[in-house]
């Protein structure tokens, strides 16, 4: 089996998780090259990880290394340009979250993907831990009954110094605050479990940080399956938690962690009388995989090898991005938002802050 030729664009902090995940696959993968606009960072990264060739631009990397897969690990504002170059050259590409700054920008990638023989995926690692897979299996097997109520909290803490990094806390470079930058991890898992959203009502505030964007949003979401969810995204919360709770007819399923979960972070509580139906199914489901980058990388490499659609596909990541856009649109327009409100005519399609935040 020839190794899959993979390259990395952007060699900052998250790129380390990518290269370590790829190199942990041994002979399955060869990391053939990397790109960064910061030459010192690029050479240190290549040297540290034994990557043979570094480039200061994507076109040279694509031409000289002929990768089969590219991981885009730049700040969000540079994702779209890099992904467009890859798709244009017929190279599969996975971009870090958030995939793009806006829905409009994302749709340029959808169009490029349609024209290309390559695909676009987004890195949302929390879909790939065994707890999430187990929950989805029990839902598919009808063990849990109807989903009724959900809670989706990303209550994290970031001090003012965190926001001093040039691209953070700005609509034009990060596309939003904790909703777009942090909560999107949990919002994506909520979306993977619950499916299509139908209505969002939210408020956004700047409570304590000096930043262009929000430092907290709080919202309610209705889903086509009939369930409703509350969603909180904060960087003001000293006791940090990423918490998802799903109340089904026959059981409550919960996960509580901060930046990555294992099986030990999940619990299931059957409704009275459903213990014998629910507990054995939960125990028999998938186990043993943490929600780390490597879990999704394994599936993405499999998609390259087998020529199958990648996880997470562009339509799935668009739905997550749309839910974030709906949160801002509802908060700033002060009204409930439905998917049809976010078409190309909406200012929130063009920019996450629409025609300007109203605090």
Ligand X SMILES: NC(=O)c1ccc[n+]([C@@H]2O[C@H](COP(=O)([O-])OP(=O)(O)OC[C@H]3O[C@@H](n4cnc5c(N)ncnc54)[C@H](O)[C@@H]3O)[C@@H](O)[C@H]2O)c1
Task: State CA 5 to chain mean position distance.
Answer: 24
H or E stretch at 200: strand 197-205
Q: How far apart are CA 247 and CA 268, in angstroms?
A: 10
Residue closer to ligand X, measured from CB, 125 or 327: 125
- Shortest separation between residue 317's beta carbon and ligand X, angstroms: 12
Q: Is 81 helix (H, G, I), strand (E, B) or coil?
A: helix
Residue closer to ligand X, measured from CB, 54 or 270: 54
The binding site for ligand X (CB under 6 A) comprises 9-15, 35-38, 41, 73-76, 78, 96-97, 123, 125, 181
Q: How far apart are CA 118 and CA 69, in angstroms?
A: 9
List, in sequence order, every residue forming a beta bridge with 149; answer none if it has no partner.
228, 247
Residue closer to ligand X, measured from CB, 198 or 237: 237
List, in sequence order, every residue forming a beta bridge with 201; answer none if it has no partner.
220
Q: How far apart are CA 86 and CA 327, in angstroms?
A: 31
- Shortest separation between residue 115's beta carbon and ligand X, angstroms: 22
- Shortest separation between residue 351's beta carbon and ligand X, angstroms: 18
- Shortest separation between residue 140's beta carbon and ligand X, angstroms: 26
- Shortest separation between residue 9's beta carbon and ligand X, angstroms: 5
Residue closer to ligand X, measured from CB, 97 or 257: 97
Residue closer to ligand X, measured from CB, 168 or 277: 168
Chain position whose Cβ is nearest to ligand X: 12
- Shortest separation between residue 14's beta carbon and ligand X, angstroms: 3
Q: How far apart are CA 100 and CA 296, in angstroms?
A: 19
**CA quadruple 279, 283, 286, 292: dihedral, nearest 10:** 90
Q: How far apart are CA 354 and CA 80, in angstroms?
A: 19
Residue closer to ligand X, measured from CB, 14 or 148: 14
């Amino acid at each position: 089996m020839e190794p899959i030729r993979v390259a990395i664009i952007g060699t900052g902090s998250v790129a380390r998780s990518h290269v370590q995940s790829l190199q942990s696959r041994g002979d399955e993968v060869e990391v053939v090259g990397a790109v960064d606009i910061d030459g010192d960072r690029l050479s240190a990264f290549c040297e540290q990880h034994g990557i043979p060739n570094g480039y200061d631009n994507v076109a040279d990397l694509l031409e000289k290394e002929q990768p089969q897969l590219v991981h885009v690990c730049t700040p969000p504002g540079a994702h779209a340009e890099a992904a467009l170059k890859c798709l244009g050259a017929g190279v599969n590409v996975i971009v870090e979250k958030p995939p793009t700054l806006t829905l409009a920008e994302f749709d340029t990638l959808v169009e490029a993907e349609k024209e290309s023989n390559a695909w676009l995926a987004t890195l949302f690692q929390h879909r790939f831990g065994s707890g999430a897979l187990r929950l989805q299996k029990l839902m598919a097997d009808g063990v849990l009954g109807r989903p009724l109520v959900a809670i989706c909290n990303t209550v994290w803490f970031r001090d003012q110094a965190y926001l001093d990094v040039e691209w953070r806390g700005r609509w034009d470079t990060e596309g939003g605050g904790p909703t777009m930058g942090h909560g999107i991890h949990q919002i994506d898992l909520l979306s993977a479990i619950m499916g299509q959203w139908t209505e969002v009502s939210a408020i956004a505030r700047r409570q304590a940080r000096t930043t262009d964007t929000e430092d907290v949003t709080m919202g309610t979401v209705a889903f086509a399956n009939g369930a409703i969810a509350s969603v909180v995204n904060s960087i003001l919360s000293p006791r940090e938690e990423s918490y998802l709770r799903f109340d089904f007819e026959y059981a409550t399923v919960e996960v509580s962690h901060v930046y990555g979960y294992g099986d030990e972070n999940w619990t299931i509580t059957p409704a009275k009388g459903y213990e014998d139906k629910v507990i054995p199914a939960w125990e028999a489901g998938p186990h043993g995989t943490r929600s780390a980058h490597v879990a999704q990388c394994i599936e993405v490499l499999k998609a390259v090898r087998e020529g199958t659609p990648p996880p997470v596909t562009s339509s799935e990541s668009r739905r997550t991005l749309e839910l974030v856009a709906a949160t801002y649109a509802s908060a700033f327009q002060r009204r409930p938002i439905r998917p049809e409100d976010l078409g190309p005519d909406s200012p929130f399609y063009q920019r996450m802050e629409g025609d300007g935040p109203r605090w």
